[in-house]
Structure 1
Amino acid sequence: MKQLSLVAVIEIAIFAAISLILDLLISFKISSAISISFAMVPVMLIAFRWGVKGGTIAGLLWGILQLIIEPSTIGFFIQPVMEYIIAFACIGFTGLYARSVQKHAKEGNRPKLIASIVAGVFIGSVARYIWHFIAGVIFWGKYAPKGQSAFVYSLISNGVSMLGSFVLCAIILSLIIPTSARLVLRRA
């Protein structure tokens, strides 16, 4: 497997830290269980630039930083691993569309570029929120309103969070990447 260059490693670390800062400063809390944020944008940019590997490492690093800043003790070891380590690393699946985004960015094919961006953001968002959904059923279901199953509670709260964050990230990246293709095109 090809190793990442020093440039990639530095960019991954910086963009993971930017995601952490965005998440801490700008997050729209709709309720205690629903939060919409565009903090995934830097990690998704890395995934479009360096592929699944780079995006996964950036997401993993962001998750670890998040755990250090805001430790979670629900479910002891398993819940934080699921919701911070695995879930955040899964944002890297956005990179499945890295080649397509890079190709269309080089060609200047805006409609195909935006379609690739949206598809990649959707894959990364769903991959992350599947883990939040599972953790919601297992660990957070006890907070469901009376008469509502843990499954439905997690589906609604994580579904709204995922859809809101997906739409926000897709819009932002669809505005940024076409106007500044160098963000996803690499030299090293």
Structure 2
Amino acid sequence: MEKTKDKNALQVTVEGAIITAFAMALNYLPHTTGISAVEFSYGLVPLIIFAFRRGIVPATLSGLTWGILDLILRGIGDGSVLNPLQGFLEYFIAFALVGLAGTGYTKIQSDLRSNKSIMLSAILFGSLGIVSKYFIHFIAGGYYWGSYAPKGMNPWVYSLVVNGGSAIANIILVIVVLLLLSRSMKTLIIPKN
């Protein structure tokens, strides 16, 4: 029994490391929409699928690891860190919160095993993870990035437009990918023992 538990924990850890690396690699693809600072974050897709596969704790840890990698490999060098608290919020907390998509783990696993459609649940729980991430970016945007708002525009409105736009763009991206992968969902989400 103990060996099976250890083997499963190792498998989840390896899967999490692969998902984190994949999410980070996807961050290097061009991802701006042409609208000021509204961005796609392609790494959200594999992280959300991983959340449905393994649950909230492994997905949160993978999101946190992805955020730390993004901070080190891109954030600091790109000038996206204004101070330690802002960096902590936008890289540690925001990325980790994507793991909240894993709150739908039990329902999605159960529905897949019963051959029920998971699309509505996947969209709702995936959106929860995305909205949670961009809510933190919204707070940081209004508080720390307000001086970058166009002249005469309220910094909180500007942050809402930019981060709300990014959240909507990423929700649409996740919905489209989930629809494209709908026939493969059972294979992707239910782990083989």
Which of 96, 103, 106 is the aligned partner of 2:110?
A: 103
Which of 106, 128, 140 is the aligned partner of 2:133?
A: 128
1:153-177 Cα offsets, whole Å, 9 max, x none, are 0000000000000111122123324
SS at match of 2:192: coil
After superposition, the CA RMSD in angstroms is 1.8
TM-score (norm 2): 0.89
Q: Distance in 1 between matches of 2:113 and 2:179?
A: 15
- 1:143 maps to 2:143: no
Q: How many residues are matched?
A: 185
Runs of 4+ with deviation above 6 angstroms: none
1:1-42 Cα offsets, whole Å, 9 max, x none, are x98700000000100110111111142342442112332011
Q: Distance in 1 between matches of 2:126 and 2:28?
A: 21
Q: 1:1-188 counterparts in 2 under 5 A?
A: 5-72=9-76, 74-110=81-117, 113-188=118-193
1:96 Cα shift? Answer: 0.6
1:107-160 Cα offsets, whole Å, 9 max, x none, are 2212xx101100111100111011000010111111111111111000000000
Q: Percent identity?
A: 34
**Which stretch shows the higher mean deviation, 166-175 or 43-52?**
166-175
Gaps of 5+ in 1: none
Larger Rg: 2
- The aligned amino acid for 1:116 is S
1:32-59 Cα offsets, whole Å, 9 max, x none, are 4211233201111111111110110110
